[in-house]
């Protein structure tokens, strides 16, 4: 006899708790609706179709990777300054590079140009083996803090010259370079596994570059596709640029 009312009470409590959950989740992240429209209008509308990439872009709180005063602009269709004269890429470019990288769970991925850590977080949604390197120590340190705070503690962050890759962690299944190089840094293809993808903007500083995907096939780099882009320059060894 006593069991029935107790059971009812438990059910009622459960319904209340479940009923409250979506509202509570929205309170926790007021940017969720902006993120959803970013995915619909900037990514899907332009042809990003990999459901894992779209889900990653919908999950990662981009506003936490930009300076606080710019948080309300984080989901706009443009890059934003992140300090040290660097920028976080436009959401579409992050999604495109990620889709081109064809990352499966367990793949090893290197990002050259950590910046804010945003691209690394998107990659970390797809595999738990991500390495990212930035030549500017202040950016690497800040990104490492942001990634840790948000629970992406599996991402390995270091400050150093990514022109040389990360030989100790190689070979990688995918390498993404998020700064424009005048030509392919020779170490990067060497650190790519057979069948691996390398995505890099190539071209002159301050002008339009060509975001290119290469695949390593029988030890040779095969160009697969490209699109015009504009990135901040990769710091390269003296004499590399013409
Ligand atoms: N992917 C970043 C944005 C990158 S901006 C993000 O998601 O926010 C380009 C970054 O490349 C800058 O942070 C810059 O410091 C870094 N960079 C430039 N030359 C580099 C080099 N040789 N090695 C490593 N990082 C480099």
pLDDT of residue 30: 94
CATH top-level class of 32-229: alpha beta
Would you say residue 202 has pLDDT above 80?
Answer: yes
Would you say residue 11 has pLDDT above 80?
Answer: no
pLDDT of residue 9: 46
Question: Which is the closest atom of ligand 1 to the Cα of 120?
Answer: 7
- From the CB of 122, is ligand 1 less than 6 Å away? no
Among the options 37, 51, 89, 116, which is catalytic?
89
Question: What DSSP assignment string belongs to 87-156?
Answer: EEPPHHHHHHHHHHHT--TT-EEEEE--TTSHHHHHHHTT-SEEEEEES-HHHHHHHHHHHHHTT-TTSE
Query: Of 137 and 25, which is predicted with more confidence?
Result: 137
Would you say residue 89 has pLDDT above 70?
Answer: yes
pTM for the whole structure: 0.90
Question: Ligand 1 mean position to 15 CA, how many Å?
Answer: 48
Would you say residue 35 has pLDDT above 50?
Answer: yes
How is the chain split into domains, by residue range?
Answer: 32-229
Question: Ligand 1 mean position to 115 CA, how many Å?
Answer: 5
Mean of pLDDT values over 177-184: 97
Would you say residue 5 has pLDDT above 60?
Answer: no
Binning pLDDT at 50, 70 and 90, where does residue 27 land? Answer: low
Query: At 2, is the secondary structure helix, strand, or coil?
Result: coil
pLDDT of residue 205: 84
Residue 40's beta-bridge partner residues? none
pLDDT of residue 28: 76
Which residue from 134, 142, 163, 186 has its CB within 8 A of the most atoms of ligand 1, so it is best to mutate? Answer: 134
Query: Percentage of the chain with pLDDT > 90?
Result: 84
CA angle 216/222/227 to nearest 5° reads 115
């Amino acid at each position: 006899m006593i069991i029935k009312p107790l059971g009812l009470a438990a059910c009622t409590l459960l319904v209340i708790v479940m009923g409250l959950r979506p509202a509570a989740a929205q309170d926790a992240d007021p940017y969720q609706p902006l993120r959803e429209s970013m995915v619909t209008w900037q990514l899907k509308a332009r042809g990003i179709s990999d459901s894992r990439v779209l889900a990653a872009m919908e999950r990662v709180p981009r506003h936490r990777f930009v300076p606080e005063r710019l948080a309300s602009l984080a989901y706009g269709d443009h890059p934003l300054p992140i300090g040290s004269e660097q920028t976080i890429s436009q959401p579409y470019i992050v999604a495109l590079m990620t889709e081109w990288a064809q990352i499966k769970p367990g793949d090893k991925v290197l990002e050259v140009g950590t910046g804010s850590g945003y691209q690394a977080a998107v990659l970390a949604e797809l595999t738990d083996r991500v390495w990212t390197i930035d030549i500017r120590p202040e950016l690497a340190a800040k990104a490492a803090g942001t990634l840790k705070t948000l629970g992406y503690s599996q991402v390995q962050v270091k400050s150093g010259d990514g022109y040389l890759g990360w030989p100790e962690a190689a070979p990688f299944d995918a390498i993404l370079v998020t700064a424009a190089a005048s030509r392919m840094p020779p170490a990067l293809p060497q650190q790519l596994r057979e069948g691996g993808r390398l995505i890099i903007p190539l071209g002159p500083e301050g002008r339009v570059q060509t975001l290119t995907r290469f695949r390593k096939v029988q030890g040779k780099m095969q160009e697969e596709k490209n699109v015009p882009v504009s990135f901040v320059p990769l710091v390269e060894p003296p004499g590399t640029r013409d």
